[in-house]
Amino acid sequence: MLAERYFPLESKRYRSISRVFNRLNPSFFTGLALLYSIWAIFLSGSSVSYRVLTDNHYWYWSSFNLITTFSLILIGFIEIKYLKQSNDNSLLNSFIFNFFNGYVLFLLGMSIVGISSSAFFDAIFYVLYFSSVHIVWSMPLNIEKELFPKKSESMKTLLLCLVLTVVISIYGFWSSDPYLATASGLYIPFYLVTILFPNAIRHYQRLRIFGVAIPVFFIGVHFPWFLVISILIFWILRYFHYFNSGVVIPSFKVIDPSIQKKKNG
């Protein structure tokens, strides 16, 4: 990131800008990230409907209209308010809640285009993918403090998510669904690396960022403007975190393994 080069952490320039960012409300940026995840699930439903019901809806810029924008914003803010009131620390309860919540969002996205006869069943596997990614993001990870799960703590969760993703990929191939099969198939190696290789924070970083990035590219095939929104939010969050805490997140760049602490529990 250019800011790291021109505004190094120990410089006066960094400290002066950092004071401005420290006055900003962190909850706004947390809400922005949550809003983005809601939009991604919603538009995934629309993308699947376009693939099933039409043959020529690709790189369709005109889909970015007032109705779409209003729907995304309205649904997003309603969901954020609902999610904040429904926090549950239990992994099982959190998974069930997020699954059904995502299922409704996915079907709402499909309903804008049209719902096919198999949509209600197919939606289960798409939402399972997003739910497993949510579990990954729920695992404790603090890049600044080099805090990440021990292997003994994360193994059961990672294996569960891996099994779910393999099942999703198999169903995608069986049902001739290129989105489901390819997205989940591309994500499986990231689980395998995290499980089989020595424990390292960089594996969890990749597992997080690519779990989101892979489906976003498929959404962008139908909604190219969502790629623009994704890039904007990506950079907004990066600059906020850098000038607020000195850490560049989200990022595709991982921490140098020579400086991170291994936890081979």
Look up the domain containing 89 and give its range.
22-245
Question: How far is 11 from 92, CA to CA, in rounded Å?
Answer: 46
Question: How far is 28 from 142, CA to CA, in rounded Å?
Answer: 20
* Residue 157 falls inside a structural domain: yes
Of all residues in the chain, the percent with pLDDT exceeding 90 is 23
Does residue 136 have a pLDDT over 80?
A: yes
Taking phi over 0 as left and psi of -120 to 50 as alpha, with beta for the rest, 141 belongs to beta
pTM: 0.82
Please give the pLDDT value at position 90: 62
Residue 203 CB neighbour total at 10 angstroms = 22
* Residue 265 falls inside a structural domain: no
Please give the pLDDT value at position 173: 93
Q: How many domains does the chain have?
A: 1
- pLDDT for 153-191, tens place per residue? 889 999 999 999 999 999 999 988 888 999 999 999 999
Q: Quick one: tokens of 261?
A: 């602490």
* Residue 255 falls inside a structural domain: no
Q: What is each CA distance from 128 to 4, 124, 168, 206, 222, in whole angstroms?
A: 37, 6, 8, 19, 22
Task: Round the average pLDDT of the chain to a whole number and report it.
Answer: 80
- Helix (H, G, I), strand (E, B), or coil: what is residue 189? helix
Please give the pLDDT value at position 74: 66
Q: Closest by alpha carbon to 45, among 117, 95, 120?
A: 120
Question: How far is 147 from 263, CA to CA, in rounded Å?
Answer: 10
* Residue 79 falls inside a structural domain: yes
Q: Closest by alpha carbon to 34, among 102, 110, 95, 93?
A: 102
Average pLDDT over residues 101-127: 86
Question: How far is 223 from 148, CA to CA, in rounded Å?
Answer: 35
* Residue 168 falls inside a structural domain: yes
Of all residues in the chain, the percent with pLDDT exceeding 70 is 80
